[in-house]
Chain A
Amino acid sequence: MPSLWLVIVISWIAQDLLRALITPFMAVPDMYILALGMLFTKESYNEVLILVAAFIGGLLWDARWGAPLGFTSMLYVGCLIVLKIAWGAVSHAAKTPAVAFFLVFSVHLCASLIELILYRNTVLFPGFSFIAKQIGALIFCLLVHAHLLREEMD
């Protein structure tokens, strides 16, 4: 089981580096919140700690990439709250990596849409950047899902 702090730091830095690399050509998937979401569904990590990490990570993201301070942190915390509710509604037997994958990706999609509506005003035609972001998020979720499955099998 990977260390919580390690996942937090690596996923934030990975997202930041990817953003620095592909800006301004396309948006980057929120790997940070995807990683936190996947950890959240594991239930073996401290949920409050993940929540605080989401808040701090979001705040740093705002400070680095120009969104109003507090916006991304609110979005990330909001995502985890939604995930908590959704994951809580799933029966214990149905809590599989596949469901976790589906929920986390859905939450990411919703967060991206909110961001799009509030800041880019292109909800009617999301465009290549938005689609690329979702494809990136999907690939990331699949990789984490594969990792979780392997852990279960082992």
Chain B
Amino acid sequence: MRNRKLAEFWQVAIVLMAFSMVLMAALEYNTGFDLKIRNTFYKSAKYLELPAVVLRDTVESIFIISKGKEAFLEEINLLQRENIALRLQLNKLREQQDEAIAQAYLPSQENSNALRAKIIYRHPGWWWRYMTVDKGGKDGVKRGMPVLSGENVVGRIFLVEDTTSVVELITSPDLRIPVVVDDTRDIGVLSGDGKGKMILHYMPKDITLPSDIQVTTAFAMGNFLPGLLVGTIESLQEDMSVGDFTTYKVKPNVNFSRLRRVTILEVM
């Protein structure tokens, strides 16, 4: 009985081994029939494996999210560095643009010389009153010379050192300039309010000036040339009216926040 079982075992074992070899030899790997068998089996097995596949995908997606987060952070870092580099480049280009504009608007009067100067210091406490430029007495700068940005008035030279000068800005309450309103030809006096704007005094009360009218320097006063742009009328200030005259708030044409270079005008 035992021997018969053993013989049966060996017979089956040899048959199965031989059959496996025949299968391997007869069915070429990845041929049409082979693939068909695999596909058919896979179609039925995939439902059986669904829980495992879902679990694997979930774990994989968690890893991917974690990896994705790292990649995002790296990209943000890279973009921030790129952003800084672009900002620096933009600032440089703006400076070049300002320079080009200033060159283009240099006064064409024959009786004047222009000197380009760079702003080197602005005291925070005197932000709207004074600024220091890198040209001084050695460069020919003298007290009272008008300082422009393009064709717009920035202020005038207030103090001259050997290599630097202090410019009194048109937004300073201490600086008073005679000006003329372009459209009406009314003459008044302009002074700064110390807060980035200017006040136009002595305007006739009977005519209300509309906003956005240009105000220019009135006539030669000291070293100022007439016709230089100063600012535009912004609004009427009725509370500061005195007698038959009223005052207007004027916005300077120069953007003092972005001002980096100025032109010092020497009037012959």
Contact = CB atoms under 8 A, between A and B. Distances in A.
Contacts of A20: 49, 52-53, 56
B29 to A, nearest CB: 5
B16 A77 contact: yes
Interface stretch (B6-14, B141-149, B155-163, B252-260): B6-14
B20 interface: yes
Interface string B124-142: 0000000000000000000
Interface string A1-34: 0000000000001001110111100000000000
Given A18-B52, A20-B53, A70-B24, A60 B17 contact: no
B21 A60 contact: no
Dominant secondary structure of chain B at its interface with chain A = helix
Interface residues of B, number: 28
A16 B50 CA distance: 11
Interface stretch (A44-52, A107-115, A126-134): A44-52
B21 to A, nearest CB: 6
B45 interface: yes
Nearest to A21: B52
A18 to B, nearest CB: 7
A64 B34 CA distance: 11
A16 B49 contact: yes
Nearest to B59: A21
Contact of B17 (A17, A59, A74): A74
Contact of B38 (A51, A66, A78): A66
A15 B197 CA distance: 83
B72 interface: no
Interface string A33-69: 0000000000000011001101100111001101011
B61 to A, nearest CB: 14
Given A68-B29, A74-B17, 4 more contacts: A16-B49, A60-B41, A64-B38, A73-B16
